[in-house]
Structure 1
Amino acid sequence: MDEQTRTALHDWLPAALRDELPRLLQASVFLRESLPRLHAWGADAGVFARPLAAAELTQDFAALPQNDEAAYMDGLRRLRRLHMARIACRDLAGLALLDETLNDLSALADAACASALAYAQAQLQARHGVPRDAQGTEIAPVILGMGKLGGRELNFSSDIDLIFCHTEAGESDGARPLSSDEYFVKLAQLVQRLLAQVTPEGFVFRIDLMLRPFGSAGPLSASFAAMEEYYQVHGREWERYALIKARPVAGDLLAGTALLQALRPFVYRRYLDYDAIGSLRHLKRLIAEDVARKGQTDNVKLGRGGIRELEFIVQSFQLVRGGAERALRDTRLRPVLRYLGESGHLEIDVAAQLDESYVFLRRLENAIQIHADQQTHTLPLSEEARAALCAALRCESWASLLRQLERVREFVQQQFDRIFTEPERAAEPASAGLLRALWFGMLQDDAALEALTQAGYGRLPRELLQALQGLHTARLVRQMNEDAQQRLLGLLASLFDEALTLESAETALLRVLEVVQAIVGRSTYLTLLKENAVARRQLLQLCAASPWLSEFIARAPVLLDNLLDPRTLYAPPDREQIAAELHRRIDEVPVEDTEQGMNLLRRFQKEMTLRIAAADLTGVLPLVKVSDRLTWLAEALVDQALQRAWAEMRAQYGTPRRGDGAPAGFAVIAYGKFGGIELGYGSDLDLVFLHDCDLLDGDTGNGPRSINNGVFYARLAQRVINWLATQTPAGRVYEIDMELRPNGKSGLLVSSMASYASYQHKEAWTWEHQALTRARCVAGSPGLARAFAQLRREVLCQARDAQKLRQDIVEMRAKMRANLDKSSEEFWDVKQGEGGLIDIEFIAQYLLLREAHRAPAVIEYSDNWRQLDALAEAGVLDGADREVLIEAYRALRGISHRHALQRQGLLLERNAELTRLAARVIGIRHRILEA
């Protein structure tokens, strides 16, 4: 390029690029050719100085001539050259970060596709009319962008992967009508020619249509119905991978979004999909073989540690977990990668380094292509091209660039291998031969029992044999093909071998076989257990420790995912972490998607309960912290259920208001174990609902339609119950008990604060005030929470007739014991028996109600433990009695927890220690309540 041309370009370019011109020209043959041409055409170089909004691109394309195809095509190509030069200059000069460059390239392709589609539609409609369905509605075209275009991550000289489709089937209404199939095939052909045909001005984008249904054998455009049927009937695993990136880029964008929403179940499985990793392994193996065959080891996209491997890392998480986690359904790689680090799916520093690696590799890829506007991903061989690449990346030498590339590749390869390397083919498990002999009936009856005994399972061989036979004859197992049965046998053999390391091998195996039978129809979970020794080990240990836990896992196989990382399995989060994690997850679910939201609450409850139980069984959490976490979990779930139910009601009916114009509130009051912060495994929730609306005869406002305020609150309460207690495929969150509301079963589902206060002051029985000692607000309006706390204080601090109070409580305790105590001469009822948990609670509640008017501090807390402490501090309860009661309470609640995990009831065989505990509690009860 002569000096005169350089000077002209220097003066033409905006100030931010003038000093960079020598490096730009060295880095890119494309710029050396394009900038003089653009200058000669009189192009406005001012656009090089700033990012260009999508609307500006649309305006540029809209200004192209519409009546002359040749002129239109030339105009398209000139616009493409202008904006490619703009993007290249800004990228190389450091005026644009990677995301802006990729987004700019993608926006250019979007605008070009939309322009070509509009031009082609006008041409076809002039000849054939408007395509319409049977109802006369216009049939709209949609272009789906796939791959890098779909992810708004287009590289500089990429082709664009497109799928053409149309909303319905029908016929055009012109003088020369065409069926919709013919019409939209012609439309696709014309768009392809307008964009891809090479003219003296070049081309706009090369187009690849091979990702469409049936590939080269399929029509160029298919109706939405045909698309849905194809993916449902014929869709292959690699097409799931491809559709992760799908995005409507032209045509009816809303219809395209609806189509992708309909296809979502094909792409993202409802449950965690570990089979997807095997499919991606296979696809990567094919790519690697093709790269080796073509000698493309220097390919920064497809080679070792390249862009494709990094994409596979991210997309493996998307395919496995995308059905459960909305944040993973983003078509863009970098936001998903950040989420993987923030959510703990990847170590946060690994996610950050992968992100840096991605930026480096994509900048390198762009620089390679910017050099000559060629679709290549291979490192250059010529010295001139290598120097150009170093100039583009501001790298001091080719050797230093290669060193940096090798570091990046090595890291990406390591992370790829962590996820995708197939498990080494270890020696066949020692139990494999035995399992095959038992499975296929080569060993039966006494011979089978003897073989199991010899193998180390001599304590329960008959039960094990029966469990194996039950699994073998299960319908889903009988339907397995031979390969699937062999994989199942391989898993079983590994489980049999690994169980021998446990003290209770037979017990662990029997319970694990129940889990296997529950998941045998879901190959993804079998794959998880077969390929992951850590998960197998954790499952065996947890099943050995607790039959309740093994049944819990069998009912919710999605929990198997939590076995992969013992660091989190045995470290349940605290109160703030539980609430924050649930909030983060449910925020990803649209408010209108009630089914998905309900299932998310159920999965979260089970996941956290598993982690709490695992920590409990291993002694990581003491008793009080187990109840704390189970209670915090319930608080978070109730709060989110209320928020979702309220949002649904508000969207339909607006909100109720009080007489003073302020929004009326709603609150959830917890009673019983929930109120007392003493939840156990499988506890139900005792709830009462309150509102503070003083215009129940009025109607809601500010919504699409109004309903009576009283009806609003009744429906809101029912929705909260539905969110928590309705049985779905994911189970239920909790059983809900509403019998503690005013007037019990005959009372209103929701009470006004005023009527509730009146009831507590004037009508409530003594036992209802006993229940109030364990009540607290757990969700809803802060104002109502304060009002409830004040009312509770007023009611509990009333002066009472001590003798009448004692009589009421003693009579209630006697009635409960007569109806509920299951004790016998041989067994003692931990909860209802004399000296048991209820006796301790009644002692505390009697003293609270008797003394609260003199010592209000005793009712500050709702849990029995701190109430006993408060009574002792106030001088109401003797210090020695407090020690006895807390020791007994702690021991008996610990027994309750352990027995729940062991599926054992609360009837214990009497022994000296239990008799001593009970006798001491009975003695205190006699002195305080019955003297």
Structure 2
Amino acid sequence: MTVPGRRSSTFTRLLRHGFTAPSVAERLLDADELAPVRTDPVLLDALGATADPDLALLGLVRLAEAQEPDERRVFFDTLIAAKPLRDRLLGVLGASEALGDHLARHPSDWHALVTYERADLHPGVAEFERDLAGADDAVSLRVAYRRCLLAIAARDVCGTTDLAQTAAELADLATATLRAALAIASAAAPADAAICRLAVIAMGKCGGHELNYVSDVDVIFVGEPAEPTEGADEGKALQAATRLASHLMRICSETNIEGTIWPVDANLRPEGRNGPLVRTLSSHLAYYQRWAKTWEFQALLKARPVAGDMELGAEYIEAVNPLVWQASERENFVPDAQKMRRRVVDNIPADRVDRELKLGPGGLRDVEFAVQLLQLVHGRSDATLHSGSTLEALTALADGGYVGRADAAQLDEAYRFLRTMEHRIQLYKLRRTHLVPEDEADLRRLGRSLGMRSEPVTELNKAWRRHASVVRRLHEKLFYRPLLDAVAQLAPGEIRLSPKAAGQRLTALGYADPVAALRHLEALSSGVSRKAAIQRTLLPVLLGWFADSADPDAGLLGFRKVSDALGKTPWYLRLLRDEGAAAENLARVLSAGRLAPDLLLRAPEAVALLGDPEGLKPRSHQALEQEVLSAVGRAETAEGAVASVRGVRRRELFRTAAGDLIGSYGTEENPAEEDPGALVDRVGNAVTDLNAATLSGALRAAVRAEWGDTLPTRFAVIGMGRFGGHELGYGSDADVLFVHEPREGVEEQEASQAANKVVAEMRRLLQIPTADPPLLIDAGLRPEGKSGPLVRTLASYAAYYRRWSLVWESQALLRAEPMAGDPELGARFIELIDPLRYPPEGIGEDAVREIRRLKARMESERLPRGADPTLHAKLGRGGLSDVEWTVQLLQMQHGWSEPGLRTTRTREALAAAQAAGLIPTEEAQTLDDAWVLATRVRNAVMLVRGRAGDTFPSDGRELGAVGRYLGYEPGHVGDMLDDYRRITRRARAVVEERFYGAQP
């Protein structure tokens, strides 16, 4: 007896084994019927391993109750002795209330789960026909069908079969059931059966060998007279065939005491429900040749004969197959397929769309439609794609290069997961549904049925959303940007597609010069070489990716140039073919503008970076400097040294630009996930580190040319402006100060001469003409500006700043940071200037007024004539200058008391000001958004045009490319400009209040 208020040990064990109603379970375990197994030590373990232990236990009790005592004894003896039976039976009882009901009505059917021979694992149509052979009416057929279904479900939930095998078994069972139903109908009407030939063609999931537990079984009926006849006799034969077909449908579809099997649906036939149920083969062909719509050919992809006159069924398939594989040549084929998919989604009730596992966005139909469209496009010339199975077709598409391996693997994994979810949802009550349940208990059972045990509901929702997201993303890629195999495989003398038709398709994809595009395609893919064969596989994919850019022609031309340069290199095409992201990354980079392709064409081997998952991550400053200094050390001349340094800079600029483009656009495999601010920071840090390493290399080269390893004076390069702030863009100059200090025993004049010679040599070496983006060093922020000496001693800087420093110079020093040369000297320079840029007690009223005056003067005098002040990223309203001066004023006012403000980086200082309560969070976010956007505009202009600029391009294609970089789809550049004006207008309002109206 259990003491009131205390839990029994059984109660605790039940909770531990996953029971949610342990009190009920205790009572059930105490039932007389379970006496033979109540003390079995493995029973609770076996129940706890099921999807729903409470349901499994209840089903076990009901099954035991339905048995006679002698049979019950045999049952429990077998159950205890045979672990396979125990796992199968309890697994089914814990997953399916409906099959538990069946076993309670037919308690001897547990014998169907006893056999565990290898031959039993994957039965086919013949085995199922044997199991259904004794059924001679609708009721007995249902009982036999459920018995077979019981065995399939047992293999499924125990993991003996995978999804594809389970779906194929269900389709084979449906085939056997259709044959049995037709036999029953024929036996009931032997006269009809004698005068006609009737073929049953399976469509949909049954035809594709991928059936659900509960689904309509789609069919088409083909009828012919038993003997060649004409006129009235043919009509009588079709009437007889129609009666047989109708009876077959009723046997399977109607509900009786044993429930229903599944609806047989013949609405995929010509003219749908308005057309005759049975047609002759010639009538079918006439309809398909003249009247069929695109979706009907898509449906025929899965057609296969399953019952009745198999010879007639084979004739039907042979006749319609050529029409299926010619369907993609129909006018508006792709738009029709796309519209049909959109209509399906649009018709889902709003309250169900997020739970719709089959039809909703990211659902099963997205995978199926995408695969089928690609099959129809490419299957004309590739018979390996002629499969009715979604997973088999997906594998074939990947093997043929029509879908990337990574895409196919992700789709395969997601489709298997979503279909398994669908199976387990339907298995519970054997009802046709594709909705994910909302009830917590249902979700728990569903999650546990998929092997999720610790937090089944949370794990299920997370996995479901992740797989749905993958499906949705890849569906958008594969379904709405179809690939053009026929265009890609054009070759001299091979007429797969006329030049006119190919030109029209290329024009539709956005190629401005289809004639030139065709010429590039022929040059890349013609011939019988292995290189041409791989190109013919790659080009359909690349054409679609190029077409997704603002300038497809430039992308294709760039690809031809890179392929001409690297085509004989064995790793190049193998990289593009085998590395899922490499080809897409290359396409994005080549069609995004001029800078990255120009860099790549000067260093084609950098393509290898695109196939390495780590290849697009910027390298550290330490690694860059080490490589640069090593290259300088190996060079024989200063010019050769700087040429080597430029080679490193070219490659690393490409790495950064490619990573920026791909991170901004994303790829179908790796969509853009980083926020724009993170991308801006990454580019700024990468370009800054690269330019700092380049200056270190130039400095080392200049010193070695004259003095060997040791310069007579210690020397440091101080970064200023965006350089010191780690905010450089691709086209930014490097603002610098040069500082030196004579070594012990060296006269100051000698040291000064040496320092000036080093600066002059560095500038000469860096200004040697080159096709690479230049690195211009600008020392205009030095004391006395252009009229002052280029390089000073530390003592000279100290004297100047002590006596002559102006407010603007203190403000400029906010961005000062050592970048190259002697690190100790650089640190001492920073120690010198800190009191100037972060003055104790802040700056006074006069200084604030002077800063405001300088800013207002800059706005009125430096904005280029004719420039739109609402669209100028640097000096315009709410642009970089507005945000930076506002932040710098806060730094000079409060940097002495707020350590977080003592940084050269604008965004860091702004975040510190917000954290210190110096600016409201919303206003800080507004300024940050504007600064990030303006910086991205400048980067985009350089990437697109290959030269620096502070305003949006006027050329339409260049403007579109800038929009693509900023995340706008083609045709939405107006939205981009409106958004820019809106964001910067808000920022300017903050500047007006915080900068021009701020109190010192």
Normalising by structure 2, what TM-score? Answer: 0.43
Structure index of larger Rg: 2
